[in-house]
Amino acid sequence: MIYFASDFHLGIDAKLTSKEREKLIVRWLESIKEKAKAIYIVGDIFDFYFEYKTVVPKGYVRIMGKLAELSDSGIEMHFFIGNHDMWIFDYFEEELGIKTHRKPIVTTILGKKFLIGHGDGLGPNDHGYKFLKKVFANPICQWLFARLHPNFAIGLGNFWSQKSKDKNMGTDDFETQGIEKQYLYLYAERKLIEQPDIDYFIFGHRHIPIDYTLSNGKSRYLNLGQWLFANSYVVFDGNDCQHKFFENEDVRVYP
């Protein structure tokens, strides 16, 4: 089995406290470890994270330890940098043995072709965010931020992060606008023109569990949802992708 999950947003409270949600995610990882051939975490493990050269931010011991355990056991592990944890550099690869991706990738898994990415900054519009992302990704800006003492810098980062408006389920505009105006759907349709053999487009970021068949009648756009309220993930068994929900049954898959 191949597992995909995203948007844990550890560091903020939601339906559960951050620590309770971390324990929940660890229970989920424990429950799938015997069946998992590969696990793809598609961004935003943390609500804010900055990787210092010699300092590991306080907290998240359980999730880090479990990810290291799974990697050490031989499970293929992948992590895609999200917009809330874009300042992770090489720690995941060097210490946890987890392959880290900064951009979407196209890969073949059990005979099917996948395009996988967090989803932020893709598609049309949102030029303000795209500019801000370039600023945050600039090595000079990262170097300057690293000069700040962690007590101040992490507090500042948490403040910025918690001002973000993308924490909720985000279903209102989806239901009023429909799939046709969703930017990740538009991105997937455009990519199909270039690569019509892609079977699955897997994204996080949008915070809504979505499973939508694209215009060619075959390829599917799947959004993984989030763990603030839904505890949603996707499983690929070699034949089909399907949403699942861990310790939560009161959630729907859109549309």
**pLDDT > 80? residue 131:** no
Kind plus residue range of the DSSP H or E element containing 115: strand 112-117
Q: Is residue 66 one of the residues assigned to a domain?
A: yes
Q: What is the DSSP string of 61-80?
A: HHHHHHHHHHHHTT-EEEEE
pLDDT band at 156 (very low <50, low <70, confident <90, very high): low
Q: Is residue 254 one of the residues assigned to a domain?
A: no
Kindly report the CATH number assigned to the domain that includes residue 35.
Answer: 3.60.21.10
Tens of pLDDT, residues 182-220: 889 999 999 999 999 999 999 999 899 999 999 999 999
Maximum distance among all Cα pairs of the chain, rounded to whole angstroms: 53
Q: Is residue 250 one of the residues assigned to a domain?
A: no
Tens of pLDDT, residues 66-99: 999 999 999 999 999 988 887 788 889 999 999 9
CA distance 235 to 224: 10
Q: What is the structure's pLDDT at 191?
A: 95
Q: Is residue 255 one of the residues assigned to a domain?
A: no
Q: What is the structure's pLDDT at 31?
A: 98
Look at the chain and report how many structural domains it folds into: 1
Q: Is residue 13 one of the residues assigned to a domain?
A: yes
pLDDT mean over 147-169: 62
pLDDT mean over 242-246: 97
**pLDDT > 80? residue 154:** no
Domain housing 213? 2-245
**pLDDT > 60? residue 166:** no
Q: Is residue 88 one of the residues assigned to a domain?
A: yes
Q: What is the structure's pLDDT at 56?
A: 75
Residue 77 token pair: 């592990």
CA distance 202 to 184: 10
If you average pLDDT over every residue of the chain, what do you get? 86
Distance (Å) of CA 245 to CA 41, 42, 205: 15, 16, 17
Q: What is the structure's pLDDT at 168?
A: 46
C-alpha of 7 from chain center: 5
Residue 93 token pair: 């690869």
Helix axes 18-32, 61-72, angle to 10 degrees: 10
